[in-house]
Chain A
Amino acid sequence: MAIADFVKSAGESFRVGWKIESNWTDPVLFATYQVIRPLASLLIVAFIVIIGASVGASANSAFYSQYLAWLIVGNAFYAFVLQIMLGMAILVHVDRTRYEVLKNIYISPGTLHPYVIGRGLVSVVNGAVSVILTLLFSVAIFNGLLHMNIPLNLLNVNLLMLLPAVILGIVSLLAIGYMLCAVNIVSNRMEFILGDSVSGIFFLLGGVIFPIALLPSYVQPISNVLPITYLLNAVRESFGLLPTASYMSDLAYLAVTTLVTLIIGIAVFRLAEQRAKKLGLFDRKSEY
């Protein structure tokens, strides 16, 4: 029964979140909005590689087309990170300060956790839409329009390898988003920094646009404990852009880092909740 209640509350939260995120405009403009940002991010890195190839930098054209495919996939799936981190980092601030409803949500029986999860799932859906559209547009632009023959065949993706990795990755990102909500419950100065900070760290250290082997050696241990690193490895393996031999180990590392993140996320959220209740922070209003 408790699980049914949780699912029902999360579903209602998802419904509210979806309306808040999408009904400010018409569906066509909303869909355009969803695709333009990730596509622009992709075009930035793609043009860097194209410019690199044009000035005759170190390698042959096969290297650049292979690298571009590797980069497109990493960049496309990074949309999950951006959507979840930015969405969940601002959630508490918006509901507490702008709409002033966080206290009402909190005093309703057992709704805060499913509420946060439900709102996080909206970001997941937004991220999924961005990923799919970015991949489709990439193939259309680079192979269809520019005839670059990038080795990226969306019909050959191994879904049995892709889906478990994506599901685990999403769980880990939601757990990190949970931590961001927790920090914002006890703080009122971090909401505009946290999402960008975490997504920036993942962009630099997660192997999104270059292999982590290129990072300085003293930073690589940090990359090795981030779920995003293994998520992107496993995703690229399912696209046939990396050797599939290390898929199981990447998936295992992803599972372990996800589990650890989940445990820490729940613990941090509980601590923040207790502290907020003790200090009366659920209805704190702050303005700049």
Chain B
Amino acid sequence: MLPKATPREELLINLRAAYARMWVRLRGSNREITGLVAEIGLPILTIGAYVILYRAIGLPPTAGAAVIIGGAMIAFWTNVLWNMSSQWFWERESGNLEMYLVAPVSRMSVLLGMAMGGSVNTSIRALGIVLLGIFVFQVPFQLADPLSIGLVFVLTLVALYTMGMLFASIFMLYGREAWNTANLLQEPVYFLSGAYFPRIYAPVVPFALQAAGSLIPMTIGLDAIRRLAINGEGIATVWPHILALIACTLILFPLARRALNYMESLGKKEGRLTLRWQ
């Protein structure tokens, strides 16, 4: 019988697993320059269409700045959907899932590695989208408090990727549903999060819509970042956003852990963890 690992050894091996998974994600996503160029350039097409629409209906240039930030944040949502939520589905299809399951590490460390790699990768792309958007559309920003923007941005990513970990657990046993569900969660979330609106928390937007949107951490973070980066407001105006983002993380993380354990156990009972081509 193997000796039981000490808590320190257990922590170290899990951190190494997270690092390894992050490294694969970083390496895999950046080896293709066409992919990188497309992931920065493609959102600009949609952003450009909305910026021109804003101009057509006579909204101020700050609305264009809002849509550029929204477009950049959508890159994170897309990453969460396709590279976090659906990831166990891809891994099962390519035969890797069983290897993760027999590895002597927590599945949460694998998800953590995916989240870290995905957030770093997508941050590079989001920065590219913002810079390209500013260059092409010449929209105004007021960066009065960059540190606060950085803080809100990091809190938003943590909450968002924790939600991704929860979705990954729920999607674990999906077959084609994974693909279709990820597709389904794109445009409705773009709408609910107000990514392409000047702001979601405006009087003209129905309260029910604002409430539904607030269930998505991106909505809260996006509004806070826009207030700080476009309106030039200070951190004092976004503290409810900061508290909400921290609350999201604290609620979603244990839920993700429980969901993962439950789905793994269900998959073992039903023999679906290695089932391909569903």
> Residues of A at under 8 Å CB distance from B?
20, 24-25, 33, 36-38, 40-41, 43-45, 47-55, 57-59, 64, 67, 98-99, 189-190, 192-193, 196-197, 200-201, 203-204, 208-211, 214-215, 287-288
Contact = CB atoms under 8 A, between A and B. Distances in A.
Contacts of B54: 48, 52
Contacts of A98: 93, 277
Contact of A52 (B58, B183, B186): B58
A25 B94 CA distance: 23
A59 B278 CA distance: 53
**What are the 4 A-B residue pairs with the smallest beta carbon separation, nearest first?**
A58-B58, A200-B45, A57-B58, A52-B57
Count class of interface residues, chain B: 35 or more
B53 A210 contact: yes
Interface string B174-207: 0111001001101110110000111000111100
B1 interface: no
Contacts of A55: 59
Contact of B204 (A50, A58, A200): A50
A108 B132 CA distance: 48
A197 B191 CA distance: 21
A51 B188 contact: no
B187 A57 contact: no
B94 A287 contact: yes
A48 B49 contact: no
B55 interface: yes
B176 A24 contact: yes
Given A24-B180, A50-B204, A189 B34 contact: yes
Contacts of A200: 42, 45-46
A120 B197 CA distance: 33
A204 B46 contact: yes
B48 interface: yes
Contacts of A41: 187, 190-191
Contact of B48 (A24, A50, A204, A211): A204
Contact of B45 (A25, A201, A211, A287): A201
B53 A33 contact: no
A1 B122 CA distance: 54
B56 interface: yes
Interface in B81-108: 90, 93-94
Nearest to A56: B58
Contacts of B176: 20, 24
B52 interface: yes
A36 B59 contact: no
B196 A24 contact: no
B42 A44 contact: no
A140 to B, nearest CB: 16
Contacts of A58: 57-58
27 contacts: A36-B187, A37-B187, A37-B188, A38-B187, A40-B188, A41-B187, A41-B190, A44-B196, A48-B50, A48-B54, A48-B196, A48-B197, A52-B57, A52-B59, A53-B57, A54-B202, A54-B204, A58-B58, A67-B57, A193-B38, A196-B42, A197-B45, A203-B46, A204-B48, A211-B56, A215-B52, A287-B94
Nearest to A209: B53
Contacts of B38: 193, 196-197
A51 B204 contact: yes
Contacts of B49: 203-204, 208-210
Contacts of A197: 38, 42, 45
Nearest to A47: B197
Nearest to A55: B59
Given A54-B202, A203-B49, 5 more contacts: A40-B188, A48-B50, A51-B59, A57-B58, A64-B57
A25 B177 contact: yes
A288 B190 CA distance: 27
Contacts of B56: 67, 210-211, 214
B183 A37 contact: yes
Contact of B34 (A20, A52, A67, A190): A190
B7 interface: no
Contact of B190 (A44, A57, A189): A44
Nearest to A23: B176
Contacts of B3: none
Contacts of B197: 44, 47-48, 51
A24 B205 CA distance: 35
A126 to B, nearest CB: 12
Contacts of B93: 98
Contacts of B175: 24
A37 B184 contact: yes
A33 B186 CA distance: 11
